[in-house]
Amino acid sequence: MCEKFGIAVDLSVNNFNMQIVLNIAAIFAAVCLLILYAAPPAKPIFTVKKRLPTKTVLYGIRLLAERCAEVEYGFGIKYSSIKIKKLISDLTRNRNIGTVWRDELLNNKQTILSAYEESRKSICLSSALGHVGKYPRLFLFCNYLAENTCGNVSEELLIGSLGYFTAITQSERKCLPDYMRYCLVGLLYTAALAADKRDEVYAKGKRDGALGRVDLDLLESDDYISGID
């Protein structure tokens, strides 16, 4: 009787321990989900740079590949950071301003918007890919190529760059076209914002020049001075 009771006690203790383990596992899973959904994806940063020679770009890719050999989990990147639709909408309303870069962008707006939309699924699922720091490795690769070539990424350069980036997985290769589109649109968006800002400063210079006044805060701006002249 006591022996049976003892066995019964042992089993109840084991069940109790098992329940604790299950509870801990459930809590851990819940915490992981909360972290995943509560932590915001990283905001991508695009920089307009001077175009580098191909050899220099490939050397930079080799250094980047060494830094990106190992990956970790991350939260992806924020697809909606590139507000290209709003930009194109604003430019369309103000098309009478008529600068060359505006006309070029608006004449190709369907191609640009299509590229942006095609990248949506891959970018929205970017947390599934390996990260280096707060960005997906594939984003770092594509963004480096886009920025340092001024968007002129040839097939030959892409193939040569992949030759150095041997750690890229099959999943990353599958998403490569979408990431390349996203980074090119991001670069275009950043350049357009900068050009629009320069246009505004130039226009302010023209207005101030016509009224015989000067904005001292803008005297170091070549665009402002050109507008005044």
**Who has greater pLDDT, 118 or 17?**
118
**Who has greater pLDDT, 147 or 45?**
147
Taken in order 219, 222, 226, 227, the sign of the CA dihedral is negative
How does pLDDT run across 26-36, given as a tens digit for each residue?
Answer: 555 555 544 44
How does pLDDT run across 119-157, given as a tens digit for each residue?
Answer: 999 999 999 999 999 999 999 999 999 999 988 898 999
CA atoms within 13 A on the CB side of 137: 25
Burial 86-119 (b: 16+ CB within 10 A, else e): ebbeebeeeeeeeeeebeebeeebeebeebbeeb
Cα angle 145-175-149, degrees, rounded to a multiple of 5: 10
pLDDT value at position 48? 81
Report residue 105's pLDDT band, with 50, 70 and 90 as the boundaries. Answer: confident
Is 43's pLDDT higher than 50? yes
Lowest mean pLDDT of 18-22, 36-40, 48-52, 108-112, name the range.
18-22
Prediction pTM value:
0.76
Rounded to an integer, what distance in angstroms lies between the CA atom of residue 71 and that of residue 134?
Answer: 10
Rounded to an integer, what distance in angstroms lies between the CA atom of residue 67 and that of residue 16?
Answer: 47
Burial class (CB within 10 angstroms; exposed 0-12, middle 13-18, buried 19+) of 220: exposed
pLDDT value at position 142? 95
